[in-house]
Structure 1
Amino acid sequence: MTRWQWARVGVRHEPTGFIGRKAELEAVRESVSRSRVVTLTGPGGVGKTRIALRAAHQLGAEFPDGVAIAELSGLRDAELLPNTVASAVGLPEVAAQQPMDQLLDHFAGKRALLVLDTCEHLVDAVAVFADILVHGSAGLVLLLTSRQPVALPGEFVLPVEPLPEPGAEASESTNDAVALLVARAQAACPSFTLSDDNRAEVVALCRRVDCMPLAIELAAVRLRTLSLEQILRRLDDRFQLLTGARSAQTRHQALRTTIEWSHDLCSPQEQQLWSRLSVFAGGFTLAAVEEVCAGGDLDGFDVIDLLLGLMDKSVVQRVNGVDEDRYRLLDALREFGAERLARDGTTAVYARRHLEFFLQMADQADRQWMGDQQTQWSERLAADLDNFRVALEHAIADPQDEAALRLVNGLSGLWQGKSRLTEARRWLDRAIAAAAEPTFEQGKALWSASYYGLLQADPAVTETVRRLRAVAEHLQDEFLRARASTAEAYEQLLWVDTRAALKQYEPVRAALAATGDRFTLIISYPQTAAGYNAVGDPHRALQEVEAGLRELESIPQERWARNHLLSMKVLCLCAMGELDAGRDLGRSILPSIVEQGETMCVAAVTEYLSWAACGNGEHDQAATLLGASVTLWRKVGALLWGAPGLIRRHTDVENALMIDLGADRFTQAYARGTGLSMPELLQTVAPASAAPPPPAPPVEDRGPLGALTERERQVAHLITEGLTNRQIAERLVISKRTADAHVEHILAKLGFNSRTQVATMIATHKQD
């Protein structure tokens, strides 16, 4: 059975039924058995992505180590290619190790399939990237989609042709182009059927657009308002106007002609919105559309209604989001919109509005991330990673208002919650370098760069810590001074004098409390807990953990800091000889940590569980877990953060296991651990037959609101506070029209016709 162990939020699934392409799918299957780089080529809209996605699912059984899909259409910066692929594969970005090296380590010895979708705009970078991966792994196969070959030695190029041209008597069962048109026509107009009366027009329409799948879909959706004869006549007029001779049409021109025709059939306002939507990368929400695209020529128009109109015309697609629907433009349609926006001379205007929206979103996330909505915020930010990257590029290019610093500072929930510290440090370095003078925002960025570098045990961060202190003193800012002191204490704890550093934390915490810096205050506790354990004082370390947990009592659903503290508690219990208690706690928290992607915590808990197993005489399991932990530590940086006292304990356990098991048996168990997947690690730590299921993370009792999305539940609770729609919009930083829409959806889903009914129902549920 294939282990689908890699996942990415927002991976695009097939939105409509897959039709035909049996020969192409068989060609892909045959090609990947003979070549390690297979590229599907062809013009936009010919169906390369659909074929690659379907082939990837069908080929799962042939790749026992997994299949991953990395979508590159929203990626603009080639330097982030390894980061993007590592994220799609499921690798964390918390190590000093470069993402390329992580990928090479991960794929070494694996029989796996990696799909890189939409490579043409990064073809040179993809060529280098693919060449390194292929030469650095023995069993990895790459399946690429691109409008041109990548030109790698050994690359097997599979040109994707349009669907077969239908004959005069073609039907759904004999021709894929006809089958596609009929299927999409019935989706647009359920009463549509293929008959002898309209067969000639259906065949002519397929031929007219060169049987290009996207062109067929764009034309078919017009059957809501036009007849087949009207569609054909308008297409004929369009072709003659643009090219004069039908025989001169290339397939790309056929698609572009269909797109232009579809564009002309949109209202002027829909055309404007189509152009403005092109500034988004990857996808967007209703709130983003309203804030970025409204106004100007659309002043007075409801952009949500216009968006729905573009959806009806198959220009915009709906995709699943975290707590609300998301939308996207197909690549060919986004490119067309971007050309129109540039022609209007308004690209810079809407790029700036795009930046302002995502800056506002990052600011709100920064304020709320250390709270009960932490997990949701991490997912929301991750869903818009491509948009944040685009916004950061715009902001760095024009650093006058410190937007780049504010944006990268505000994304701590993305960088930490999704373990993207390496990418964070890259953006921080660029934003800091673009800042002309020392400012408060620059100081915050230097703190983040210092903290992330220290988490990754990167000695080069020492200079960043010095710069942070210099900026804090230059500005005479107490907030930055407290953070600089924290960074200096952490630096000394890791690399200089642990005992001396521990004495610094008491005044540091007083300064943090005085400036209201709750986040930095809380994260100081796992630092000192690690320090006290390193110097052999686990009882004091446990006091530090408990103090940190008390700080989190008011935010019971916070998980990131709590995971770090609880992993330290496992260490404390094991170090105090309470092996069973440490084992039970480690088993209970590890699934939550794995789910959140906290690889550093996973490494630590696995290490401590190895020590507990060794102490309990479970030597084979201890050696297996030790091998697993060392592999995980390599992904995040230094073994046990380079703390000498903890490393000595690791060495003692390793030596004891070597003596008790013997060299051969120890080596076998240790090697078994180095190859464990995350599901296998969880099963090794707590076999299903031997341990109760881990407790689920606390979640809000949704009660009668279970049918609502996360955002709609927020709105429903604000209704009970007596807030008007405008006040709700201000509280959630959305437009009033979006708030109106949420309230309408709530009433419809609950079967109510007034806001009072919503408030009464929630109040009654709370009393029960």
Structure 2
Amino acid sequence: MTQREDAVTQWTWARPGARNESTGFIGRAAELEAVRTALTQARVVTLTGLGGVGKSRVAVRAAHQMAVDFPDGVSIAELSGLRDPEFLPHTVATAVGLPEIASKESMDQLIDHFADKQALLVLDTCEHLVDAMAVFVDILLSHTPGLAFLLTSRQPVALPGECVLPIPPMPSPEADADEHSNDALALFAARAKAALPSFELNADNRSEAIALCRRLDGIPLAIELAAVRLRTMPLEQILGRLDDRFRILAGVRTAQARHHTLRTTIEWSHDLCSAPERELWARLSVFAGGFTLAAAEEVGAGNELAGLDVLDLLGALVDKSVVQRADGVATEYRYRMLDTIREYGAEQLEHSGRTKEYAHRHQEFFLRIARQAGEEWMGDQQVAWGDRLAADFDNFRVAMDFAIAHPGGEAALRLVNGLWGLWLGKSRLTEARRWIDKALAAAPEPTLEQGIALFYGSYYGLLQADREAGEMVRRCRAVAESLDDDFLRARALYVETYEMLMWSRDIASTLASYEKSRRLLRESGDQFPLAASYINTTVFHAAHGDPSTALREVETCMRDLAHLPHERWARNYLTIARVLALWADGKPAESRELGRRVLPSALAQGETMSLAATVEFLSWVACGEQEHEHAATLLGGAAALWRQVGTALWGVRALQRLHTETESTLMLGLGAERFTQAYSHGGRLAVAKLVEFACGNDHASGSCPSSAADEGSPLGPLTPREREVAGLIVEGLTNRQIAERLYISKRTADTHVEHILTKLGVTSRIQIAAAIGPRTPADT
């Protein structure tokens, strides 16, 4: 591999949404070459074929091999868990690694991101979204001339110019074939060895293995299922059972027959199960993304299956490879079913007329989990709850979908409210706000649950500096007053006060309102907004040059949390605020040491927002210590993290001002070119590498080369801030509007525009727009 190929591959596959192969890839050379050829001739290539034929495996391997052919990268979005087409753009944007921006639709983000890129987007498992997918891809095709698409689907998307490549089963082996000459036989040998380490394909069993692969028509999933049976019966017996089941299909070679072959293979596994095992298989199909034993017992038990039976039945399904044991959290195993197996179970449940019954039981189970998590989040089990909620995130989505589709109660509101720790802890603010909007629409009557949802929705919106969140703040207040509820009044006052902190210039009134809010929150025992209020004011005082008061705020809140020694979320953010306060207090060494202690735990918990803030503040420390290149690299890394969250320094004006001052100091110290190189390099670092670099390992980031992408680009001579301003000019903003958007003075905006005109060699704003073309996130 060349140095360039190695660099591209490392960068590409560190991206969110990309995945590597969990088992060895075997064969498919012709199909891989066909994909490569097709992508040189068409922008949309769809791999079609029956379930289990290996479409996804071919697509992932082709994407790996072709990464070097797409200089701006390859991204994969896996869509099997997506049920609601409305979330298609958001899901793809998340997989690509785009930020959550409250004021911008995901479709617009994707268009902006890919507008001038030569990239490949793999959309895996599209058949259940085919209508929405056709519209989605068509829009992107019209606006992103350098973007190519590789889709996997059981049916074509039916787009003009779509190249459809059927993925056939593996060729059936001839009588004299061996594992070196036939892919199907090689696959069986490899999977059989994995299932039964003592198995060896040899002269004694080769003929039976060849017959098995031929009877299964070379379908990879069927071969893999059969190979696993070696744990419980010899190859000859497996072959005999297949002969009994497949006799009716002998000699039929149509595509539909191959579909029946796979179904027959699954039906064969179904027939091997006892009646109670089959029943549990069907009931477990309501889960998405996996489940625990406790979930299986709660949802799957009932009627003819007693709770105690589920443990033994689940074990039997694992032994028969219907259910797979996956990695768990802590000491609890998790289980999952392959999509094809789960879909077969769902068909059986639908045929029994009990899908709604078990979907409702699924919803009720995860509603109880969400409620318990919401109540216990500010406690000693916070980390464990975070892991558990994240592991079951697909199940919560399915439960919320069901609740919204079956209105009449408050289940959807209770679910989305109970998950507040997940939304905050994993920085999923944009998705949280969308679910809240859906849940509010499904339950429009003013209730306490509605008021709590309005509280969280407004809080998440304020964290993203979205001025439209103010409307939800006022609705929260209105519900609190209509219900005459002191608990909700206290929460409403808190978000009102937080809104004042964001936008009001009346500092005295804002701080007085915080004190009143805290009194009410203490009276109601509402620990989360109380701690959040201290985080807010600590940052506020530190950013406004009063570090002593900021540090006192930290100590006060820490005393309030003394009875919760293992609580992590509030302590983490209070510590980050203390990093800022120590820096503002002229104690850079203490600030840096504390910040570096925060980063590893934040990385482990996936807390993107706390990572962004800590890296940002450490860049300010480094700037003050004259470590300009180190600081610029951190500043670029922080900017990339902020974009993922959909906010920047929570929109706090004073922090934005300090950011701008740091940026200006670094540009003066390094010069525009060196600053841009370091800043851009930091933005491209994988998060783990960025954390390692921020913690003092300067070698972790590698070298800081000039950006090849800038060469020949009209944006090349511009600094990151100037690129941001240029993009806003393209959007049609005036200098005053740019100043308001970026929290800078109009004079500073004027200066940026003058520099842009000079560097681009143009004399008007219209010429700026013409020179740089459409704006993309990479340009900012």
Q: Identify the residue that residue 494 of structure 1 maps to in structure 2.
A: 502
In structure 2, how many angstroms separate the alpha carbons of the residues matched to 1:258 and 1:244?
A: 14
Helix, strand or coil: the match of 1:255? helix
Alpha carbons of structure 1 residues 373 and 433: separation in structure 2 relative to 1, 3 Å: same
Shift of 1:293: 0.8
**2 CA distance for matches of 1:261 and 1:280?**
23
How far did 1:337 drift?
A: 1.2
**Equivalent position to 1:537, from 518, 534, 546:** 546
1:9-88 paired onto structure 2 within 5 Å: 16-28=23-35, 37-56=44-63, 68-88=75-95
Q: Which amino acid aligns with 1:688?
A: N
Q: Does 1:572 align with 2:587?
A: no
Deviation at 1:561? 2.2
Spell out the pairing of 1:444-463 with structure 2 (5 A cutoff). 444-463=452-471
Residue 533 of structure 2 is matched in structure 1 by 524
One of 531, 547, 565 as aligned partner of 2:556: 547
Say yes or no: does 1:508 pair with 2:517.
yes
Q: Output the amino acid matched with 1:565.
A: L
The answer for the alignment partner of 1:325 in structure 2 is 333
Q: Quote the Cα distance in structure 2 between the aligned partners of 1:173 and 1:690.
A: 44
> Which segment is superposed worse, 113-122 or 384-393?
113-122
1:710-758 C-alpha deviation (Å, 9 max, x unpaired): xxxxxxxxxxxxxxxxxxxxxxxxxxxxxxxxxxxxxxxxxxxxxxxxx
CA distance in 2 between partners of 1:179 and 1:672 (Å)? 44
Structure 1 CA distance for aligned equivalents of residues 503 and 62 of structure 2: 50
Superposition deviation, residue 9 in structure 1:
10
Task: Summarize deviations over 1:142-168 as a string: whole Å, max 9, x none.
Answer: 443221233456655432111111112
Residue aligning to 1:413: 421
Instruction: Write the distance in 2 (CA, Å) between the matches of 1:172 and 1:475.
Output: 73
Q: Show the 5 A alignment for 1:419-458.
A: 419-458=427-466
Partner SS for 1:561: helix
Q: 1:205 aligns with which of 191, 197, 212?
A: 212
Cα separation, partners in 2 of 1:64 and 1:594, compared to 1, 3 Å: farther
Q: 1:606 to 1:188 in 2, by over 3 A?
A: closer
Shift in Å at residue 272 of structure 1? 0.8
1:165 and 2:172 are equivalent in the alignment: yes
Match of 2:350 in 1: 342
2:386 is aligned with 1:378:
yes
Match of 1:617 in 2: 626
Taking the aligned partners of 1:375 and 1:115, their CA distance within structure 2 comes to: 33
Question: 2:489 is aligned with what amino acid?
Answer: R
Q: Tell me the alpha carbon deviations over residues 24-79 of structure 1, each in whole angstroms, 9 at most, x when there is no partner.
A: 34544565677665433211111122333444555667778766543321211122
Distance change in 2, residues 1:436/1:673 (3 Å): closer
Q: Counterpart of 2:28 in structure 1: which amino acid?
A: R
For 1:357, the equivalent position in structure 2 comes to 365
Q: Which residue pairs with 1:649 in the alignment? A: 658
1:742-761 matched pairs, under 5 angstroms: none
- What is residue 688 of structure 1 aligned with on the other side? 697
Distance 1:382 1:373 in 2: 14
Deviation of the 1:455 alpha carbon: 0.8
Unmatched 5+ stretches in structure 2: 1-5, 701-780
Q: Paired residues, what number?
A: 690
User: What is the CA deviation profile of residues 219-255 of structure 1, one whole-angstrom value per residue up to 9, with x for unaligned ones?
Assistant: 34445556656555554554456x6974565211221
- Once residues 212 and 196 of structure 2 are traced to their aligned partners in structure 1, the CA distance between those partners, rounded to angstroms, is 17
Which secondary structure state, in structure 1, belongs to the residue aligned with residue 290 of structure 2?
coil
| Amino acid in the other structure paired with 1:398 | H
* Alpha-carbon shift at residue 84 of structure 1 (Å): 3.0
Say whether 1:288 aligns with 2:295.
Answer: yes
Q: Which residue of 1 aligns with 2:719?
A: none
Instruction: Give 1:112 deviation, angstroms.
Output: 6.2
User: Paired residue for 2:260, among 253, 257, 262?
Assistant: 253
Residue 377 of structure 2 is matched in structure 1 by 369
* Equivalent residue, structure 2, for 1:696: none
Residue 552 to residue 133, structure 1, CA distance change in 2 (3 Å): farther
The amino acid that maps onto 1:543 is: R
Q: Offset of 1:517 from its aligned partner?
A: 0.6
Question: Following the alignment from structure 1 to structure 2, what is the Cα–Cα distance between the partners of residues 129 and 145?
Answer: 15
Instruction: Report the secondary structure of 1:149's partner residue.
Output: coil
Q: Distance in 1 between matches of 2:279 and 2:202?
A: 38
Q: For residues 171-250 of structure 1, what are the structure 2 equivalents within 5 Å?
A: 171-185=178-192, 194=201, 199-223=206-230, 231-232=238-239, 234-239=241-246, 246=252, 250=257
Residues 475-490 of structure 1 mapped to structure 2, 5 A cutoff: 475-490=483-498
- Offset of 1:678 from its aligned partner? 3.2
CA distance in 1, matches of 2:314, 2:17: 20
1:559 aligns with 2:568: yes
Query: Could you tell me which of 300, 310, 314 is aligned with 1:307?
Result: 314
| 2:285 maps to which of 278, 285, 289 | 278
Tell me how far 1:468 sits from its aligned partner.
Answer: 1.0
* Residue 569 of structure 1: how far off its partner (Å): 1.8
C-alpha spacing 1:233/1:571, structure 2 compared with 1 (3 Å)? closer
Displacement of 1:358 in angstroms is: 0.9
Q: Please tell me whether residue 264 in structure 1 is matched to residue 292 in structure 2.
A: no
1: CA distance between counterparts of 2:521 and 2:203? 79
Do the aligned partners of 2:184 and 2:220 also contact (CA within 8 Å) in 1?
yes
TM-score, scaled to structure 1: 0.80
Contact 1:534–1:644 (CA under 8 A) maintained in structure 2:
no
SS in 1 for 2:424: helix
CA distance in 1, matches of 2:234, 2:605: 52
Contact 2:462 2:469 in 1 (8 A): yes
Deviation at 1:609, TM superposition (A): 3.3
Name the CA distance, whole Å, in 1 between partners of 2:524 and 2:23. 54
In structure 2, the CA distance between the partners of 1:344 and 1:508, relative to structure 1 (3 Å rule), is same
Is 1:403 paired with 2:411? yes
Q: So what's the TM-score if we normalise by structure 2?
A: 0.79
Structure 2 residue identity aligned to 1:294? A
Distance 1:168 1:6, change over 3 A: closer
Deviation at residue 349 of structure 1 after TM alignment: 1.0
Q: Secondary structure at the match of 1:443?
A: helix
What is the deviation of 1:473?
1.5
- Paired residue type of 2:165: L
Residue 528 (structure 1) shift: 1.2
Which amino acid is 1:480 matched to? L
2:473 corresponding residue in structure 1: 465
Task: Mark the CA change 1:630 to 1:108 in structure 2 (over 3 Å): closer, same or farther.
Answer: farther
| 1:387 lines up with 2:390 in the alignment | no
Q: Distance in 1 between matches of 2:566 and 2:118?
A: 39
SS state of the match for residue 180, structure 2? coil
Q: Distance in 1 between matches of 2:580 and 2:493?
A: 26
Choose from 116, 124, 144 the match for 1:117. 124
Distance 1:584 1:110, change over 3 A: farther
SS at 1:165 equivalent: coil
1:316 corresponds to 2:314: no
Match of residue 732 from structure 1: none
- Deviation at 1:177? 2.0
RMSD between aligned alpha carbons?
3.5
In 2, the alpha carbon distance for the partners of 1:351 and 1:118 equals: 23
Secondary structure of the 1:333 match is: helix
Q: How far has the Cα of 1:562 moved from its partner?
A: 2.5
**Whole-Å Cα distance in 1 between the matches of residues 58 and 561 of structure 2?**
49
Given that residues 447 and 479 in structure 2 are in contact (C-alpha distance below 8 angstroms), is that contact kept between their aligned partners in structure 1?
yes
Correspondences of 1:124-135 after superposition (within 5 Å): 124-130=131-137
